[in-house]
Chains A and B, each alone.
Chain A
Amino acid sequence: MFKNNLKVAWRNLKSNKLFSGINIIGLSMGLTIVMLLFLFISHERSFDSMFPKKDRIQRVLLKTDGDFGFETWATVPPATALTMKEEVTNVESAARLLKHNFGRPASLRINNQNFTEDLFYWVDKELLTIFDIELVKGDAATALDRPGTVILSETAAQTYFNQENPIGQTILVDNNRELEVTGVYKDFPENSTLDADIMASSNGYWFYDRKSWGNASFETYCLLKDNVSVDATQTQIDQMLEANVTKEGRWYSFGLQPLSKVHLYSASYGNSYSSRIGDINEVRNLTYLAILILLIACVNYMNLTTARSQKRSKEVGISKTLGASSESLVGRFYVETGLITAISIVLGVALTMLLLPSFNSLTNQHLTMDLLLNPTFILAALGVWLVTTLFSGLYPSMYLSRFLPKEILSPSLKRGKGNVVIRKGLVVMQFAASTALIVGVMVIYQQTQYIQNKNLGFAADNVMAISIGGLRGDENRNALEQEFKNLSEVTAVSMAQGYPGMDVSGRTLRKNDTEEHGLNIQTNVTDAGIVDALKLHLLAGSSLPKFKSEKDTLVEVVLNKKAIDYLGFSPEEAIGKEVYIGIPNTIVGVVDDFNYESLHQPIGAYAFNNSTSEGKSFMLVRFKSGNLANTVADLKSTFTRIVPNLDFNYSFLDQNIARMYAREKRAGQISIVFCILAIFVAALGLFGLAAYTAEQRRKEIGIRKVLGASVGKISQMLSMDFAKLVVIALFIGFPMAYFSMENWLEGFAYRIDLQWWVFALAGTIALGIALLTVSFQSIRAALTNPTKSLRAE
């Protein structure tokens, strides 16, 4: 029986090439997308699952109170881990990580060569046991015990020491700290949140035993004891905070985040050091998108199969007259569906292999086909096959097997309207989804353009940030600055702690030393050149003073508009006033607001000051546009001449800023590709449906032509029927798009408004695609000679 069914199914498949082709192409495209996304999603979900103690590892989060606007940070004060080990009995161990110089690159000098390392962390030695980090050279138990020790990843060891044995060798960091290599560890896998190339022992470093409850800059992981509850631990942590920090100093509370959630659920948290941060929303959206595309492909199948019902009805009628039961016919149609989906899955796997490299470059991933061979995936593929088959086959098999032989074999065949209504409903659904996707893509594109072109309040183009964290001594710095200024291409130079787009220092702005609350303010240590280097818009006063003696403890500050608004001054009034940012500061200038963070965040208070509390890690150089290569070469030769013992490490400000939106850009690119595919699959279905509609109406078209209808009239009539469906689809798709895109735009503090013409354009595109698809069939049907369709049956 089954064999017979399979045989009939195979012959049906072969005899209807258009139908089978459309179904198989549509389904295999849908399945390919599902498989690619499965790879992507399972990679994202596999993060940090390789650490043996993963179930007991928690990251300590810091939640700021109202004054700081209820933010969550991934970093906490240095005292947290130290005190937890002593006072929180549920915690077995805890370790801190500090990315070098609060997230700045480290200058390394090794064997008289200069390097720059972006992934340099200072860590507590407990990190090695909490994460069971394996050393391929050296002893994990003691490697980071002594002060001044450092361990390298295998890749870093290869880069810095080539074939040499690095153990016992010396690394000079920022030209002032010598570290001894005591171990080499296996590279962290791609799906590990820990991404360090170099980990130096905190022992001997400034924060090693600093029991400070301020300076929340330390990513802290703790290992819970076996079988203790997270809730109980949380209570203990709350008690620890109460016992150690006075009520006034407690502007935050602590929370715990299980390691399994660190990767996907931290996108909105501030101060994460890892370069590998995922986003559960992206994973979710892509999952929905994948399901949607598969659904569209399944709907194609249902539609085309039932559309062909008149052709199949004779077969069903004869089978029934010969004694076939409805159940056995349901079985037959399921076998047919199963066959088509099976072929599509095989094709889908092949396509996946083919497209994986492009998908990788699109998503910036390094996914491999290994995943396709793992049992979970094979099981999932079987599951998808089963679900697709059951779902796609459901309606056709029920519908077709219900035919009664009497009506099927009678000459004047008439079908109920229900079938047509459902089929039309499915087309409407497909096009509603497609329209919503088109709107979505256009809005994402618009917002991305808006972000790129928005006036940020400063000029990010033609500015280079050169790392000078390893440059010792004011004389050297000043000499370098002077030499740069002498270059003809250079128009402004400024040394700064950080630049817009980079975390600087979070402090509190107070009107006077008695004010209780104050306002959260970002402070950036810099000099007079900053206004010119960034092309900030000066509202009143001047930039920071050009000269400041080392003994001068007076701090001058240039505030932004937001800050003086809080203080209640006009820009002119503010000049010369004294405010408190930890210590007294004198306002010398006011600049207009500018976007120092990504456009997801609203602008807050910002201060440029000339205190000595933080070091200046960058030299910001504004240059004339023109021959960039020459400019870089000139700067480099000047740099290496003045500072021979430092690597010339630079980046461009505009590129750094663009990088802040890498995730949006990626999401935009992925959704454009998927949108095009979804529309293609939907159009494919419409194409098939139009073909069968034209075939079904052959006779009617013939009659109309005999009665004098022109080709234009006929094709218009056929196309209009579909156009109506698309118009209905628009009215369903638009609200869907409106609400989901409003929701997406909510995530930006600076965003576009949804414009009516975007919807109009999307509607026109959807309608245009539908008409183009359908008119091909309509015109073909209209051109058919009526004598063919009216020949006596």
Chain B
Amino acid sequence: MIQIQNLKKSFRTEEVETLALNGVNLKVAEGEFVAIMGPSGCGKSTLLNIIGMLDNPTDGSYKFAGHEVGGLKESQRTQLRKGNLGFVFQSFNLIDELTVFENVELPLIYLKMSKAERKEKVQKVLERMKIAHREKHFPQQLSGGQQQRVAIARAVVTNPKLILADEPTGNLDSKNGIEVMNLLTELNQEGTTIVMVTHSDRDSHYAHRVINLFDGQIVTESQNKPMGAMV
């Protein structure tokens, strides 16, 4: 599903050019659950943003489901992203002015889905995430764990092929964190590919494969024994 070859990304500030990614090669098969680890500033998030088509690489090739993404324009990337990709962030990134329902509904609106269809899908996913009773609440009125469940609901409501999670448990206590990881595992078992950036060893054990990034390069790769959902 994801084929990355010799990927490079550099950032320019007024004086210095920093190489965030320096020749990354990575393949992710459909249905895989991959964790990316590494110290702060190693390029994890940059890699995730490129995989998520939020950013373009400076050099190298990135193929998503056979399509070369590297040189696409923003509008083309938006098109490709729509419905195919779901995002889960550490800081949830819910829109404060919208209710739980409206937050989850948003990606469907951008897919130009009919109102009835949207309603059905949103309610289904909210029930699944056990947050349906809060659908009229605003994000500020929810706990961290609940907010992240809403964010996951929003990420999966379009039935994406790939979910990108950027430290999804970073702002959660361990109980809520485990709950979120179980949710992701469940989704993975149903066939969704997941790429997750994490600092947490515990979380990395949920993945099939762990990639260690250091100074913009992959230094080690290790296979995990699938551990299944923890209860």
Where the two chains meet, the residues of A that have a C-beta atom closer than 8 Å to any C-beta of B are 412, 414, 699-700, 702-711, 713, 783, 785-787, 790-793
Which residue of chain A lies nearest to B46 when distances are taken between CB atoms in the complex? A787
Quick check: is B229 within 8 A (CB to CB) of the other chain? no
Q: Is the interface of A mostly helix, strand, loop or mixed?
A: helix
B interface residues (Cβ-Cβ under 8 A, vs A):
45, 49, 52, 54-55, 74-75, 78, 81-83, 87, 89-91, 93-97, 106-107, 110-111, 140, 154, 166-167
**B95 near A708 (CB under 8 angstroms)?**
no
Interface-central residue, B45, B75, B95, by most chain A CB under 10 Å: B95
Cβ B54 vs Cβ A708 within 8 A:
no
How distant is A789 from chain B, measured CB to nearest CB, in Å?
Answer: 10
Question: In this complex, what residue of A is CB-closest to B151?
Answer: A703
Choose among A706, A709, A793 the residue that contacts B87 (Cβ–Cβ < 8 A).
Answer: A706
Of chain A, the residue at the smallest CB distance from B90 is A792
A708 touches B91 (CB 8 A): no
State A414–B78 Cα separation when bound (angstroms). 30
**Nearest CB on B from A779, distance (A):** 13
Q: Whose C-beta in chain A lies nearest to the C-beta of B154? A: A707
Query: Are B110 and A787 touching (Cβ within 8 A)?
Result: no
Which among A705, A709, A792 has the greatest number of chain B C-beta atoms within 10 A? A792
**Known pairs A706-B87, A711-B74, A785-B55 / 8 extra A-B pairs, C-beta < 8 Å:** A412-B140, A414-B96, A706-B54, A706-B81, A708-B78, A710-B75, A710-B110, A793-B91
Min CB distance, A317 to chain B, in Å?
Answer: 20
Contacts of A699 in B (CB 8 A): 93
**Residues of B with C-beta under 8 A to A706:** 52, 54, 81, 87, 93
A792 touches B91 (CB 8 A): yes
Listed A/B pairs (6) with beta-carbon separation below 8 Å: A704-B106, A707-B110, A709-B110, A710-B75, A792-B90, A792-B166
Q: A709 to chain B: which residues have CB within 8 Å?
A: 78, 110
Contact between chains at A710 and B78 (CB < 8 Å): yes
- Which of A783, A787, A792 is close to B54, meaning CB atoms less than 8 Å apart? A787
Known: A703-B95, A704-B106, A706-B87. A414 touches B140 (CB 8 A): yes
Tell me which of A702, A708, A785 contacts B81 (CB under 8 A): A708
Q: With A706-B87, A707-B154, A708-B78 known to touch, is A785 a contact of B95 (CB < 8 Å)?
A: no
Contact A713–B110 (Cβ < 8 Å): yes
> Contact at B93–A708, with CB atoms within 8 Å?
no
The residues of B that contact A414 with a CB separation of less than 8 Å are 96, 140
| A708 close to B110 (CB less than 8 A) | yes
Using Cβ atoms and an 8 Å threshold, which residues of chain A touch B83? 708
State in angstroms the CA–CA spacing of A353 and B55 once bound together.
53
**Also in contact, A707 and B107, with CB within 8 A (given A414-B140, A785-B54, A792-B45):** yes
- Closest Cβ of chain B: how far from A787's Cβ, in Å? 5
* Chain B min CB distance to A689 (Å): 18
State in angstroms the CA–CA spacing of A708 and B107 once bound together. 6
Give the chain A neighbours of B107 by CB distance below 8 A: 707-708
Residues of A within 8 A of B167 (CB): 792
Distance in Å from the Cβ of B50 to the closest Cβ of chain A? 9
Closest CB-CB distance, B9 to chain A, in whole Å?
A: 11
How far is it, in angstroms, between the C-alpha of A713 and the C-alpha of B82 when the chains are bound? Answer: 14
Q: What is the CB-to-nearest-CB distance from A721 to chain B, in angstroms, rounded to a whole number?
A: 11
Kindly report which residue of chain B lies nearest to residue A713, judged by CB atoms: B110
Contact status B111-A700, CB under 8 Å: no
Taking the closest CB of chain A, its distance from the CB of B158, in whole angstroms, is: 8
B21 → A minimal CB distance (Å): 13
Chain B proximity of A292: nearest CB distance (Å): 34
Within the assembled complex, what's the spacing in Å between the Cα atoms of A652 and B94?
75
A414 to B141 alpha-carbon distance, docked (Å): 12
Chain A residues near B87 (CB-CB < 8 A): 706-707
User: Are B89's CB and A790's CB within 8 A?
Assistant: yes
In order of increasing CB-CB distance, the 4 nearest A-B pairs are: A708-B110, A708-B82, A707-B107, A787-B49
B99 smallest CB distance to A (angstroms): 14
Instruction: Return B82 CB to nearest CB of chain A, in Å.
Output: 4
List chain A residues, Cβ under 8 A from B106.
Answer: 704, 707
Alpha-carbon distance A197/B18, docked complex (angstroms): 83
Chain A residue contacts of B52, Cβ below 8 A: 706
Q: Which residues from chain B contact A702 at a C-beta distance below 8 Å? A: 93
Given A708-B82, A785-B54, A790 contacting B93 (CB threshold 8 A): yes
Residues of B within 8 Å of A703, CB to CB, are 93-95
B residues near A786, Cβ cutoff 8 Å: 54
Query: Which A residue sits closest to B49, measured CB to CB?
Result: A787
A255 to B74, CA, bound (A): 80
| Residues of chain A contacted by B89 (CB below 8 angstroms) | 790
**A791 contacts across to B, CB distance below 8 A:** 45
Q: Is the CB of A711 within 8 A of B97?
A: no
A786 to B45, CA, bound (A): 13
CA distance A706 to B77 in the complex (A): 10
Within the complex, the shortest CB–CB distance from B96 to chain A, in Å, comes to 7
Q: How far is the CA of A783 from the CA of B75 in the complex (A)?
A: 10
Contacts of B49 in A (CB 8 A): 787
Residue in A closest to B140 when the chains form the complex, CB atoms: A414
Given that A708-B107, A713-B110 are contacting pairs, would A700 and B75 also be in contact in the complex, using a CB cutoff of 8 Å? no
In the assembled complex, the CB of B142 is this many whole angstroms from the nearest CB of chain A, namely 12
Query: Whole-angstrom distance between the alpha carbons of A121 and B166 in the complex?
Result: 93
Q: Whole-angstrom distance between the alpha carbons of A520 and B74 in the complex?
A: 80
Which of A704, A713, A787, A790 lies in contact with B95, CB distance below 8 A?
A704
**Complex: how many Å from CA A793 to CA B93?**
11
Contact partners of A700 in chain B: CB under 8 A: 95-97
Instruction: List chain A residues, Cβ under 8 A from B78.
Output: 705, 708-710
Contacts of B55 in A (CB 8 A): 785, 787
Among B91, B93, B96, the most chain A Cβ lie within 10 Å of the Cβ of: B93
Q: In whole Å, how far is B105's beta carbon from the nearest beta carbon of chain A?
A: 10
Interchain nearest-CB distance for A414 vs B (Å): 7
CA distance A702 to B110 in the complex (A): 14
Min C-beta distance of A523 to chain B, whole Å: 77
A790 to B166, CA, bound (A): 11
Complex Cα–Cα for A5 and B83 (A)? 53
Closest Cβ–Cβ distance, residue A439 to chain B (whole Å)? 35
CB distance from B109 to the nearest CB of A (A): 9
Tell me, rounded to whole Å, the shortest Cβ–Cβ distance linking A446 to chain B. Answer: 44
CB distance from B78 to the nearest CB of A (A): 6
